[in-house]
Amino acid sequence: MNLKDKVVIITGAGSGIGAAAAKLLGERNATVVVSDINLSNAEKVAAEIIKNGGIASAIKTDVTKFEEVEALIAQTVSKYDRVDVIVNNAGIGGKHQLKTAEHTHDDWHNVIAVNQTGVFYCMQAALKQMMKQGHGTIVNVASLAGLKASGNNLSYSASKFAVVGMTKSAALEYGSKNIRINAVCPGYTHSALLDQLLTVRPDMGDLLKRLIPMKRFGEANEIAEGICFLASDNSKFMTGQTLTLDGGTSL
């Protein structure tokens, strides 16, 4: 994949899918800005990329605060002159698995703030820079829960449907500006979010695997491959699309 010399920001890159994508992009010669609300985790990922011969730096960012998102873009441009790609991966799940009538307001506000508003803030700030430089690529990390119903998970589902909608709307707006915007939609993947679910419902693991035609959960590096494809010039005629990586679950 053609990623050499691309300057790529990844939010939520201190762990899970974000960390896997950051490391894979580093292996493929991109310059990686590892962004996370947990700076220590971000620094560890950046250090590993550098140790393996790549170029990386870490920046602490809370994507729910627009001023911090603006600072992330500004610091990246100051250090590397441009932002070729931003991968909007930062996301959380709710603390409770409850039906809509019992869904907590705290879960709603917290999940929407990170997963939906955070992606909007990152897209908006990145688009302003990409318009100035005349090119750019945005990869949003949505979810299978943004394509089909997901019970006991209203705020997460709502936020991921929103990410898919924002991806398509913005792609329509900026397709003529040499800016591509796509999304990956992972299914059940080994991650902190899945671990959280299985901690609450240990029996859920076997149940979920029965719903997956491939009979296993995805791995973070498998989702990272999809992110790299959308970030690269290999997908240069692709915009406004969702790449579903779910082991066939949506079937």
* Pick among 3.60.20.40, 3.40.50.720, 3.30.360.10, 3.20.190.10: CATH of 7-244: 3.40.50.720
Terminal CA-CA length for the chain: 28
pLDDT at 30 over 80: yes
- On average, the pLDDT of the chain sits at 95
SS3 233: helix
In the predicted structure, residue 60 carries a pLDDT above the cut 80: yes
Q: Which of 80, 156, 174, 188 is labelled catalytic?
A: 156
Q: What share of the chain is helix, strand, coil (3-state, %, to 5)?
A: 50, 15, 30
pLDDT at 202 over 80: no
Query: What confidence tens digit (pLDDT) does each residue in 240-249 have?
Result: 999 999 999 9
Percentage with pLDDT > 90 across the chain: 85
Q: What six digits make up the tokens of 74?
A: 């500004």
**Which stretch of 47-51, 130-134, 207-211, 228-232 has the lowest confidence by average pLDDT?**
207-211
Report the distance separating Cα 203 and Cα 101, nearest Å.
24
Q: Where are the domains of the chain?
A: 7-244
Residues 184 and 243 sit within 8 Å (Cβ to Cβ): yes
pLDDT score recorded for residue 200: 67
Residue indicated by tokens 């990922």: 45
Residues β-bridged to residue 59? 35
**Pick from 89, 38, 37, 92: which is nearest to 61 by CA?**
37
Q: What is the pLDDT of residues 95-113, one digit of tens each?
A: 888 999 999 999 999 999 9
Count Cβ atoms below 10 Å from residue 93 Cβ, excluding itself: 23
In degrees, rounded to 5, the angle at the alpha carbon of residue 19 between the alpha carbons of residues 14 and 20 is 165
- What are 36-54's pLDDT values in tens digits? 999 999 999 999 999 999 9
Strand order in the sheet with 136-141: 55-60, 31-36, 7-10, 85-88, 136-141, 179-186, 242-245
What is the percent of the chain where pLDDT is above 70? Answer: 98
Enumerate the β-bridge partners of residue 51.
none
pLDDT digit string (tens) for 143-186? Answer: 999 999 988 899 999 999 999 999 999 999 999 999 999 999 99
108-128 residue pLDDT tens: 999 999 999 999 999 999 999
Cβ neighbours, 10 Å, residue 157: 20
Mean pLDDT of 25-43: 98
Q: How many residues does the structure list for the chain?
A: 251
pTM over 0.85: yes
Catalytic: 80? no
The DSSP H or E segment spanning 207 is: helix 204-211
Look up residue 48 and give its two tokens.
């590993």
Residue 33, CB half-sphere, CA atoms under 13 Å: how many? 28
